[in-house]
Structure 1
């Protein structure tokens, strides 16, 4: 069995070629819900198909209501509010930071302008998928159906090695990105353009988000640990640098986030999410 349950959701880890682009698929169903969450940007693109009632997200620049045709989101640079109301049924895919480019050749900057719907990528094939999902009696069948459909209709693109290498980076040291450029014999301008097209961020901003996410996970797991130690553990120069970069993505200070953890408002499974 390659799936497990968490927070009443079924989470499935692909065991085929989709692992190159997808971290996991999930399905979550509940009765009546009326809840909102504050979400700090995380290192994933995501596809969500809303099979229930109201499901929306709001950012500083846009609002989006999810429907059965789904919504495809890229990496965010600012927090967003997610809200659900009524019967909750949602099917989703958490992609790697470059997942949409790997699967369909979609340039990530498109996702900064708006959320794409699944039919923006699959066209009328989306309706075929929705009909197949309706025929699934069990939740795990919906996940397997979505996985098979994506695999069958993918238009895979290779990911440059220099981007994969930076994707595993956890260093804010000066010259780190320059060393990646030098090692792969690519000009700084070309490297930044390629990275931005595939991931949606410049390399520098991506690495900052990577470190902020590591700090978030550490605060959530060890709220008694001093924030100064967490700052140094994750490569920040000093506490002021930590606060400035953290707030630029999270819209709050590390201390404000820590208080939310202590108050029991942070999701244990997804520490980027704070219950409102």
Structure 2
């Protein structure tokens, strides 16, 4: 099931990686996802589409739903007619796009009307009646450009994006020449990214390890652990499982059994 992908060629690229649209007459999807470094907004025009986390179960509909960078794994189930449009945002995307606090999204996902009010209802009607995937993605892009209220992302938050490292003092070095306290820095990261700097860095390293295991499943896990700066194998397993809900070896087993999405290795197909 291939998606139609549209990458913005305008100022939206500072907040959005790409927009996508999937459609199929009938599907039965059940998958497990290790959290990735993206916020995502999904609008479901089809039948059953539900996402379950340890905290809650969410049913997606035509009102759409935006979620923050997730702190743990989710399970997705879709069945019947499948028609969905999504926006894959950068980890700070909704703050950059319109000033929406990621901390608010951590409390609960927000629908499009929650974010953009009555304007969202007109958008959703236009999307539902548009004839082609390209038309739908163009309508979505024009709406985002119209509603955008860009916010500056502080340098100390951007410094967290890459490279991810556990080197002692790395996080503090991001604010060493700034007139802000550690407490203020943590608050800023929680507002923009939805999590504290250390936690965000750990999730970044887990994502790096996921990509490495998927690309090289026969490589020793101890090598991947040390390459990413973990103190030892036990430290790597503990951090990986905190976010992924499974161990690195369990993920590698899924890779070898060809259960992992070839383009998005964070996704494991369960059926």
Give the TM-score range, shorter chain. over 0.9
1:93 Cα deviation after fit: 0.3
| Partner residue of 1:143 out of 128, 137, 146 | 137
State whether structure 2 residue 152 is matched by structure 1 residue 152.
Answer: no
State whether structure 2 residue 13 is matched by structure 1 residue 39.
Answer: no
15-24 vs 127-136, which deviates more?
127-136
User: Any idea what the Cα deviations from partners look like across 1:134-161, whole Å, max 9, x if unmatched?
Assistant: 3322111111110110110122211111
Give the corresponding residue for 1:210: 204
| Alpha carbons 1:169, 1:207 under 8 Å: kept | no
Gaps of 5+ in 1: 1-6
Q: Where does 1:1-276 land on structure 2 (aligned, <5 Å)?
A: 7-276=1-270
| Alpha carbons 2:45, 2:128 under 8 Å: kept | no
| Alpha carbons 2:64, 2:112 under 8 Å: kept | yes
1:187 Cα deviation after fit: 1.1
1:183 Cα deviation after fit: 2.9
TM-score (norm 1): 0.95
User: Any idea what the Cα deviations from partners look like across 1:170-197, whole Å, max 9, x if unmatched?
Assistant: 1111110011110333211111111111
| Alpha carbons 1:236, 1:242 under 8 Å: kept | yes
Query: What secondary structure does 2:109 align onto?
Result: coil
* Rounded Cα–Cα distance in structure 1 between residues aligned with 2:62 and 2:162: 34
* Rounded Cα–Cα distance in structure 1 between residues aligned with 2:178 and 2:226: 29
Give the corresponding residue for 1:4: none
User: Any idea what the Cα deviations from partners look like across 1:103-132, whole Å, max 9, x if unmatched?
Assistant: 111111111121110110111111111122
TM-score (norm 2): 0.97
| Alpha carbons 1:50, 1:66 under 8 Å: kept | yes
Instruction: Count residues with an aligned counterpart.
Output: 270
* Rounded Cα–Cα distance in structure 2 between residues aligned with 1:30 and 1:249: 31
Gaps of 5+ in 2: none
* Rounded Cα–Cα distance in structure 2 between residues aligned with 1:59 and 1:83: 12
* Rounded Cα–Cα distance in structure 1 between residues aligned with 2:20 and 2:178: 36
